[in-house]
Chain A
């Protein structure tokens, strides 16, 4: 079976290579080694039987003496799995001999291999690029693009109550890197790899969020279970089975709502960058912070901006230190002249327009350009939070499309269909427990209907619009532990 964009991956630690690597880590126990041996047994595939999981990602080569033994030991598992319709992807890591590992993968009938950096020139199986988010890249012969350094989503463990300047707690989310990857490679399915923290027993909701965080951003988590859960599943313990079922139900929920993956992020602000090299940090951090200040946005890859539509945008934040080429600059200035706001970094040679009045404290000096404005940053390395806060301030809350109340640990992502008739607001609660009040959304534009869907409720619920005196309407949601989506129809 060939790897395809619809494949649903799961990390399948098993065999001598994972044991050898585990033995080098602190806290690795004989029980864990036993579970790794058990998961090499084809019988262990019962765990994924009847679930949407369709692809197992196995350790294939790491440049260690155990590589050959690993490939040999996994043969029965791979054979049995393929008979059951599963695909296998071999993960090639470290100092592995890539050509040899790829050849072994082809010989073993793997659907693909995944590796960091460059693929061997003549790889006979599809190669999934498996890079850190900041070095994300796509490869023509793979429908999938991998990100190897995802984060376990939730409130940061070290400082769960710590607040930022907004007094909203910081959250760990993969949203920013996934939206960037989608913008850079819109024709690929993005997989993101992250492991659960091993030090504490994880609540069921932690796994639900681990599924929902990437899925709501149009990507797939390479499901990875903690040692204890794997051990307990192997031992047939009921609490483990319940947790696994909830995770699978959440996965199934997103498969039932596949249309969400065809929607694109929407907002009045576009963040434009090549998201590479010295520009990575500023672009990624802006996209990380915008959900925290409740500013809906779109992400635009600079390389695709020439062909992109700016319709419906109020502002564009051009992030990159180097100015755009002449053609793109012309297009951006035309956007501003037409009434938009163009935010640019300090190194913007010969800024267009004429100086315009602006509040002195702002990070940006304002220039009048036609009917719009050019906002040039005053600092070479501005604070990321102050940057997005000032962008929001200059854009003005009077234009807010959406506002979220009573959900301090939540982020939302607003996406719409190509024609704009359908939309969805994904709401992710990173605290993984319901708040004292249900979340409340303000929606500026009128819609025909709003429906709440969630793996946490038995059936979709029609939401009631509460019109507001100053315009717009509010939608009141029930308390949610992890995730809900509001389906909007115009």
Chain B
């Protein structure tokens, strides 16, 4: 047990994993359960659309969720786009695949969505999402034409909005009491997080919950964000503000509650992610595990963290982000109940545990409804891949 925690840190949930006890403020008892569907899907070809359609049916159908509604679909286009994993395409390793995005958009349109806005804050650029996609040789028009009224928005800055939207964390938050985000995250009735099934260097895994972290605008939370007001253009990444607290967000945004909190990414990021998911809840979580990468979230591999492009051949969707990520962790060969010190949370607190305490959802699979293909039939062990890569490395 850690014995160097201040009372405030304890209140902020520091070392929650090690303590294994729920803090007094925990709203876990009130957290909702979720339905999660699992499907086999080896390729982004003809099997993709029916597999996704079936999953949504298993969840109760998309109609009830999106009919007549404005839907924001947050995809994942993380990192520096010019850094691929060898020759593998970004969409087959680190980024949500465009065919999968197109399929989901199509099904949402078919289910009666009034407007679908595909959103993301790609690295350090004011370019539109179409431009980012063109630069990867994608055909963004295929996504735009997958349903009626589809649009894109780069949410790294003000974009098409006139002001940023404020999202307060129910209960007051752990690190920040609230966040200022691009208007798209408010101007929607349904919020979808469409993530890639990956590990993460700082947070262990990056799934539908971590994907929401990318909603934070660089103009406020980036390394060159404005001091008083948001900058006009996004420059750089979020590390200085969020990972290490080496600078503050723009003063116009809600500020860190307690500056004495640890400046460690493994402490901060899981809390920030949990808070964001509490402040801007996900209505539908989708995880692309058809083709992806092991090791970490983008091309940050190292001898200790070897990476490989892999083909787990699985799709996961759910009505609750915590539950969906818990299922995905099981598919990846991890225990979703793991806490700090146990992989994948060797060096970080569990964002799932923290989100559970914030009342976002439940990570215990037995308390959620898991549908479709049994998890045991689609397990693709990331630790096993790592062991294999490390062994090969040692041999070489």
Contacts and interface: CB of A to CB of B under 8 A. Distances in A.
Interface of A: 163, 165-168, 294, 359, 361-362, 386, 389-390, 393, 396-398, 400, 403-408, 436-438, 440, 442, 466, 468-472, 474, 476
Contacts of A396: 131, 134
Contacts of A400: 134-135
Contact of B126 (A167, A168, A361): A361
Given A165-B235, A406-B83, A437-B85, A472 B137 contact: yes
Contacts, number: 76
Contacts of A407: 82
A393 B235 contact: no
Interface residues on B, range: 20 to 34
A408 B298 CA distance: 14
Given A294-B82, A403-B135, 20 more contacts: A165-B235, A359-B128, A361-B158, A361-B233, A362-B126, A386-B233, A393-B127, A393-B128, A397-B131, A397-B132, A400-B134, A403-B137, A404-B82, A406-B83, A406-B84, A437-B86, A466-B87, A468-B137, A469-B137, A476-B87
A466 B89 CA distance: 12
A440 B232 contact: no
Contacts of A408: 80, 82-83
A406 B135 CA distance: 14
B87 A165 contact: no
B135 A167 contact: no
B388 to A, nearest CB: 18
Nearest to B138: A470
Interface string B120-149: 000111111001101101110000000000
Give me the 7 closest cross-chain CB pairs, A-B, nearest first: A397-B134, A397-B135, A398-B134, A165-B235, A470-B137, A437-B86, A405-B84
Contacts of A397: 127, 131-132, 134-135
Contacts of A476: 87
Contact of B84 (A362, A440, A472): A440
B87 A474 contact: yes
A437 B124 CA distance: 23
Nearest to A404: B82
Contacts of A466: 87
Interface of B: 80, 82-87, 123-128, 131-132, 134-135, 137-139, 157-158, 224, 232-233, 235-237, 301
Contacts of B233: 361, 386
Given A165-B236, A166-B124, A167-B80, A440 B138 contact: no
Contacts of A294: 82
Contacts of A469: 137
Given A165-B235, A166-B124, A440-B87, A406 B82 contact: yes
Quick one: which of A400, A406, A468, A476 has the most chain B CB within 10 A? A406
Contacts of B86: 406, 437-438
A163 B124 CA distance: 12
A405 B135 CA distance: 11
B82 A361 contact: no
B80 A168 contact: yes
B138 A361 contact: no
A437 B84 contact: yes
Given A167-B124, A167-B236, A167-B237, A405 B137 contact: no
Contacts of B125: 389, 393
Contacts of A437: 84-87
A470 B139 contact: yes
Contacts of A404: 82
22 contacts: A166-B124, A168-B82, A359-B128, A361-B157, A361-B232, A393-B125, A393-B127, A393-B131, A397-B131, A400-B134, A405-B82, A405-B83, A405-B84, A408-B83, A437-B86, A437-B87, A440-B87, A466-B87, A470-B137, A470-B139, A471-B137, A474-B87
Contacts of B138: 470
Quick one: which of B134, B232, B233, B237 has the most chain A CB within 10 A? B233
A472 B224 CA distance: 36
Contacts of B87: 437, 440, 466, 474, 476
A246 to B, nearest CB: 27
A106 B228 CA distance: 66
A167 B131 contact: no
A396 B140 CA distance: 13
A469 B97 CA distance: 14
A93 to B, nearest CB: 42
B311 to A, nearest CB: 17
Contacts of B80: 166-168, 408
Nearest to B307: A436
Contacts of A393: 125-128, 131
A408 B237 CA distance: 16
B243 to A, nearest CB: 15
A165 B82 contact: no
A379 to B, nearest CB: 11
Contacts of B224: 165
A390 B131 CA distance: 12
A466 B85 CA distance: 16
B123 A167 contact: yes
A167 B83 CA distance: 11
B282 to A, nearest CB: 28
A117 B277 CA distance: 66
A396 B131 CA distance: 6
Contacts of A474: 87
Nearest to B142: A470
Nearest to A444: B137
Nearest to A470: B137
B150 to A, nearest CB: 18
A358 to B, nearest CB: 12
Contacts of B128: 359, 393
Contacts of A403: 82, 135, 137
Contacts of A405: 82-84
A24 B120 CA distance: 59
B218 to A, nearest CB: 10
B135 to A, nearest CB: 4
A400 B127 CA distance: 15
